Amino acid sequence: MGNFGDYQYQFYKAGVLNKTSPFPFTFAEWEHRARENMNPLIYGYVKGGAGDEETQDINVTELRRYGLTPRMLRDRSDRDMSVTFLDRKLPSPVFLCPVGVLGNIRPEGDLEEARVCAELDLVGMYSTLSSATIEEVAEARGESFGIFQLYPTADEKLTESLVKRAEKAGFDAIAVTVDYGTVGWRPRDLSHGFMPMLRGDCIANYTSDPRFRELAGVTSEKDLDPVHAGAVWMDVFANPAFTWDDLGWLRQITELPLIVKGICLPDDAAHAKQLGVDVIACSNHGGRQANGGVPAICHLEQVIEAVGDLPVTFDSGIRDGVDVLRACGLGAALVGIGRPYAYGLAVGGRDGLRTVVSQILAEADLTMAVDCYTELSQLAVERLD
């Protein structure tokens, strides 16, 4: 296998023939093109964050306060961006974060995410809020590493049913999101009165579940009116009473590796480790849930220190390949992207999604080459005060 950065040469070669890429090359351009392509309600849902979006924005800008120190005169002919995560060797540290409206962005959006993960051997973290079922996503992802992202519901039997379905479908891990006890204050969505799930969209994992149908008072999925399904979903989706005791219960009902997503406080990370979780996901939900918070990247090193040898993944504010290196240099085991690939999907479907990921991997690899880093473990990252 060559270096990820070799991806760029095709564009220079095409330029000789006066041909250029149909796709952009920067996050800002992807976002602009996506806005032109998307339904304004869906764009607002993907683009939007909590409150005035200060936390969402500083997640991004704070990452820019960390820089790589170049080192020279070393052989950088080949670079190795591979990592080992939960005993699985992976070609890169990049994973795709759960995004709950992929099926509204493009038909089969959730499956397209899984198919790209299969093509590129990426880790995919697949949202509970999906237009495709757990089982359909599992089939589409092939042999790639699959993580089922779980929102613990207000109904314990439904939560357990979702976990057992993920196990049976062959997922490699469960990621329980703990920063969603209720929907945050999101002015963009409020101004549109838009929550797609209330219209019956992106809740295939619920409507396909026997326990959910029992709660809805029907025996067959075809008997579920979308609006009625959305109303039942609203009643059970969030669980503001989910506590450490419930996390312990979740640890007991599954033998799959358990990831706790949404941890920023070192004491919380340490407590989760004591309960037997396998991975900590340092994240503030990309600034979508709560405004007024400390940028997520500022928590990463302290969370890593609090859990010792336990892997810590990171997401929130990652926009390009250099951001991936920044987080890896601070110790992240994996680094997640969300909005970038969602915009790629909006602009170009599966090809657009694949292109965004390929660009991020190429930029990371080429930055390592220019700075004479041949392995992620060599990265030297400093804060620019």
Is the sign of the CA dihedral 55, 60, 65, 66 positive or negative?
Answer: positive
Helices and strands counted in the chain (H then E)? 17, 12
| Annotated binding-site positions for FMN | 98-100, 127, 149, 177, 261, 283, 315-319, 338-339
Tell me which residue has tokens 């969030």: 238
Hey, what's the torsion of the CAs at 20, 25, 29, 30, to 10 degrees?
100
Residue 228 is among the residues annotated as catalytic for this protein: no
Full DSSP string of 343-379: HHHHHHHHHHHHHHHHHHHHHHHHHHHHTT--BGGG-
Which residues are known binding-site members? 45, 98-100, 127, 149, 151, 177, 186, 261, 283, 285, 288, 315-319, 338-339
Distance CA 234, CA 206 (A): 11
C-alpha dihedral sign at 40, 41, 46, 51: positive
Active-site residue (options: 32, 192, 228, 285): 285
Pick the closest to residue 129 from 199, 228, 59 (CA basis): 199
Task: Pick out the residues of the known binding site for glyoxylate.
Answer: 45, 151, 186, 285, 288
> Rounded to the nearest 5°, which phi and psi values hold at 148?
-90, 120
Reduce the DSSP state of residue 314 to 3 states and report it: strand
Q: How far apart, in whole angstroms, are the C-alpha atoms of residue 89 and residue 70? A: 27
Token representation of residue 270: 């340490």
Residue whose structure tokens are 């995919």: 124
Reference 34, options 316, 340, 350; nearest CA is 340
Q: Which residues are catalytic?
A: 285
